[in-house]
Amino acid sequence: MLPRAPTVTLDRIGPRQYRGPTGWRGGTVDRERDDAPRGLPRFTLGPVAALAAVLAVALTALSGRYGYHRDELYFLAAGDHPAWGYVDQPPLTPLIARAATELFGNSVAGLRVPATLAFVASVVVVALVARELGGDRRTQVLAAGLAGVSAQPLAVGHLLSTAGFDLLAWLVICWLTLRLLRTGDGRWWLPIGLCVGVGLLNKYLVALLVLALLAAVLAVGPRRVLRSPWLPVGAAAALLVAAPNLWWQAEHDWPQLTVAEGIGTDDGAENRTLFLPQQLIYLSPLFVPVWVIGWLRLWHDPPLRWARATAVAYPVLCVLVLALGGKGYYVVPLLLVLLVAGCEPAVGWVRRHGRTWPVAAVVAINAAVTLPVLPRSALTVPLALNKEQGEQIGWPELADAAEEGWSTIPAPKRARAVVFTRNYGEAGALDRYGPARGLPRPYSGHMSYADWGPPPDSMDGPVLVVQQEDADGAERYFTDCRQVARVDNGDGAPDGEGAENDEVENEEQGAAVLLCSGTTKPWSRLWPSLRHYY
């Protein structure tokens, strides 16, 4: 009796490519893809959406508890000066800030609605990444949950920032890249290119992700996706979407390079020193075993051999960021992919041990460090880990101090007087809160504020200068300066038993308001000296 012939199962991986027990049909055998999975679990939309909704409600409830961040005030001002680019950023986030205020009102909570939506989308995409790696229902929900309570995603989900939309763009690109590597279908290059283009309209850092992923695929495969005719199509799509901003940068002599150079010079050494410890805390120290196991799984597990490039891309990206002196959070999206890869073993660990308290501990710690859940008087410890908490406090008080200084100018001289600030946060605060206090439009030489000035030379009256306590003196630019007010973000009232003051030691606490009799030169001649990028 003859043995039964084995059943041949064909699994479609890409266009006209089928995988049987002896290799690829409809094309050449590709040993690089011999371990590609044959199917995906169903996407767990309901539980993931419910989890994302709970997180969104929490962020919305806390969104207005402190106040605007200095960068948000800058985005509001930039949105009032729409352009295809700014000296320190592309146009997307300022345009989103403008749209948010038009749709949801001119408030902190309204401004942060897009940030919350981007956070929710990031949580869902993380679950899709888990599914792409073969994760079942529990793995997808766990991946979404761990990402949703991680420190960096919570921080950028709470504030309107380029980093929040950058996180979403990187995660979508990683998800699409995994789909490209898994299926071998070169047509995925087109949506990847479109997402890269949108990412470039928000933050240029996405180019580092592209370089890291391309280098990783070239190093460990599957290299056949690099030979796809769709690759140049995707690259053209990315350039086409980003072209208006790239043209703006070229027309203005690439000011972004000057900004990046200044960041690397001023903060590069500190960023390199803190890079490794930041990798441990940007998600949570308790999550480190999960993403380490995830990296090992991507590197060693035969069923995930097709995704090995994502394991290689992470150290490549770290090298690029360290070389440029960039900040540690730049690599968080790829770190999340490693975290996702480690969730399947983590599900097994939870099943065996039944311990979920580490996640509860992470929620409590990360919420205290990244979200406005504590009273102002209790921010000393969180500020040591996340100074952005303090940057949301004290802007109305800064405007109060400027109003106090403005009142010292005789009324007949105010028509020719100028309010000048040393950084965009101070200028943004006076743009937002100044009109209600009778203050004129502020001017500043910082970042793109310099492009919206200078004051007319006819405004040759007194100059009210707002600057941080440790800023360079204004005496070299202005004459006869004297301090007339000081910024104090505390109210001096008790805040709980034993507390004397709820002031927050942030960058603007103690800032000086100076009244100067005039400028050393006309504004048009002085302005190039007042312009600065960092």
Residue 470: the pLDDT is: 79
What residues make up the domain containing 506?
394-530
Q: Distance (Å, rounded) from C-alpha 90 to C-alpha 94? A: 8
Query: Angle at which helices 343-353 and 288-300 pack, to 10 degrees?
Result: 120
Q: Distance (Å, rounded) from C-alpha 390 to C-alpha 438? A: 27
Indicate if the pLDDT at residue 358 is higher than 90: no
Same domain, 310 and 402: no
- The closest of 395, 405, 400, 396 to 481, measured between CA atoms, is 405
- Examine residue 239 and state whether it is found in any structural domain, yes or no: yes
Q: With b meaning 16 or more CB within 10 Å and e meaning fewer, what string describes 418-442? A: bbbbbbbbbbbbbbbbbeeeebbeb
Q: Residue 6 is encoded by which pair of tokens?
A: 């084995």
Same domain, 335 and 400: no
- Examine residue 131 and state whether it is found in any structural domain, yes or no: yes
Same domain, 202 and 65: yes
Strands 418-421 and 23-25: unpaired
Q: Distance (Å, rounded) from C-alpha 88 to C-alpha 94? A: 12
Same domain, 76 and 199: yes
Same domain, 27 and 162: no
- The closest of 416, 446, 451 to 430, measured between CA atoms, is 446
pLDDT 10s digits, 43-59? 999 999 999 999 999 99
- Examine residue 141 and state whether it is found in any structural domain, yes or no: yes
Domain boundary among 323, 338, 370: 370
pLDDT 10s digits, 445-473? 999 999 998 999 999 999 999 999 877 77
Same domain, 277 and 166: yes
pLDDT 10s digits, 255-286? 998 888 877 777 788 889 889 998 988 999 98
Least confident window among 15-29, 159-173, 451-465: 15-29
pLDDT 10s digits, 476-504? 899 999 999 999 998 544 444 434 457 88
Q: Residue 171 is encoded by which pair of tokens?
A: 């995660």
Q: Distance (Å, rounded) from C-alpha 32 to C-alpha 35? A: 8
| Phi and psi at residue 505, to the nearest 5° | -80, 75
Mean pLDDT (the chain, rounded):
88
Q: How many CB atoms lie within 10 A of CB 471?
A: 15
- Examine residue 138 and state whether it is found in any structural domain, yes or no: yes
Same domain, 147 and 293: yes
- 476 CB-contact burial (10 Å; exposed 0-12 / middle 13-18 / buried 19+): exposed
- Residue for token pair 């995994």: 178
pLDDT 10s digits, 384-438? 888 999 999 999 999 999 999 999 999 999 999 999 999 999 999 999 999 999 9
Contact 169, 76 (CB under 8 A): no
- Examine residue 114 and state whether it is found in any structural domain, yes or no: yes
Same domain, 221 and 93: yes
pLDDT 10s digits, 301-323? 999 999 999 999 999 999 999 99
Whole-model pTM: value is 0.89
Instruction: State the total domains in the chain.
Output: 3
- Examine residue 388 and state whether it is found in any structural domain, yes or no: no
Provide, rounded to the nearest whole percent, the portion of the chain with pLDDT above 90: 73
The distance of Cα 199 from the centroid of its chain, to the nearest Å, equals 11
- 121 CB-contact burial (10 Å; exposed 0-12 / middle 13-18 / buried 19+): middle
Kindly state the average pLDDT of the residues 59-80.
Answer: 96
- The closest of 113, 111, 148, 143 to 130, measured between CA atoms, is 143
What secondary structure letter does DSSP report for 388? G
Confidence of residue 350 (pLDDT cuts 50, 70, 90): low
